[in-house]
Amino acid sequence: MAKHKISVTVNGTAREAEVESRLLLVHLLREVFRMTGTHVGCDTSHCGACTVILDGSPVKSCTVLAVQADGSKITTVEGLEQGGKLHPVQEGFTEKHGLQCGFCTPGMMLSSVALLERNKNPSEQEIREALAGNLCRCTGYVNIVKAVQYAAEKMR
């Protein structure tokens, strides 16, 4: 199978790789770069466990080919903490018990970060709409909403 040389910037670091055309972005991150914070929870783009921020927009990295990401900037869960300081969304999730098993958490947090970057003061309904592409089986979403509200407050 044909290989392609690609360059991406992951959490501020320039990375290069030679990949098959069919390699999914999530597998580039997890298996080539060994950044395993981004998870795989389904095969149909429904669960959102693999959500990363690609050039400013949250995307499901199981539905993006690595070659499509060539030249782009990617933020993963590993890039949220800056200089030893947690992102307010990370803080919110732990303060408000917005996670249990932790599997959906990275994707859920990245969708939340993307929401707060475009809407500083979301209503509960806006939060629920922004997270509707991320499934959680543990929390019933109540505390996830509170976690995002906590982060929004902190970021204002």
Partner 1 sequence: MTIAKTDAKICGMGHSMKRKEDPRFIRGQGRYVDDIVLPGMLYMDIVRSPYAHAKIKKIDTAAALKIPGVLAVIDGPTLAKYNLHWMPTISSDTQMVLPTDEVMYQAQEVCAVIATERYIAADGADAVEVEYEPLPPLVDPFKSIAPGAPVLRKDKKDQKDNVAFHWEAGDRADTDKALKGADVVVSEDIYLPRIHVASMETCGCIADFDAAQGKLTVYMTTQAPHAIRTVFALVAGHVGLSEERIRIISPDIGGGFGGKVPVYPGYVIAVAASVVIGKPVKWIEDRMENLQADSFARDYHMKVELGAKKDGTMTALRIKTIADHGYSNASANPSKFPAGLFSICTGSYDLKHAFCEVDAVYTNKPPGGVAYRCSFRVTEAVHAIERITDSLAQKLGMDPATLRMKNFIKPEQFPYKSVLGWEYDSGNYQGALKKAMDIIGYDALRKEQAEKRKKGELMGIGISSFTEIVGAGPSKDFDILGIKMFDSAEIRVHPTGKAIARFGTKSQGQGHETTYAQIVAQELGIPASDVQVEEGDTDTAPYGLGTYASRSTPTSGAACAMAARKIRDKARKIAAHLLEVKEEDLEWEPGKFTVKGAPQKSKTIQECAFAAYTNHPQGMEAGMEATHYYDPPNLTFPFGSYICVVDIDRGTGVVKVRRFVAVDDCGNIINPMIVDGQIHGGLNQGLAPALYEEISYDDEGNITGGSFIDYYVPTSLESPNWETDKTTTPSPHHPFGAKGVGESATVGAPPAIANAVVDALSHLGVTHLDIPITPEKVWRALKAKGAAA
Question: Could you say whether residue 86 binds partner 1 (CB under 8 A)?
Answer: yes
CA-wise closest residue to 144 among 156, 59, 122: 122
Figure out which of the listed residues 51, 61, 75, 105 binds partner 1, where binding follows CB under 8 A: 105
From 2-10, 45-53, 67-75, 115-123, span contacting partner 1 (CB under 8 A): 45-53
CA-wise closest residue to 24 among 63, 60, 59: 63
Figure out which of the listed residues 74, 127, 151, 152 binds partner 1, where binding follows CB under 8 A: 127
From 2-10, 36-44, 64-72, 115-123, span contacting partner 1 (CB under 8 A): 36-44
CA dist 30 → 24, 26, 46, 123 (Å): 10, 6, 19, 34
CA-wise closest residue to 119 among 76, 155, 78, 87: 155
For residue 65, the minimal CB distance to partner 1 (Å) is 13
Question: Could you say whether residue 137 binds partner 1 (CB under 8 A)?
Answer: yes
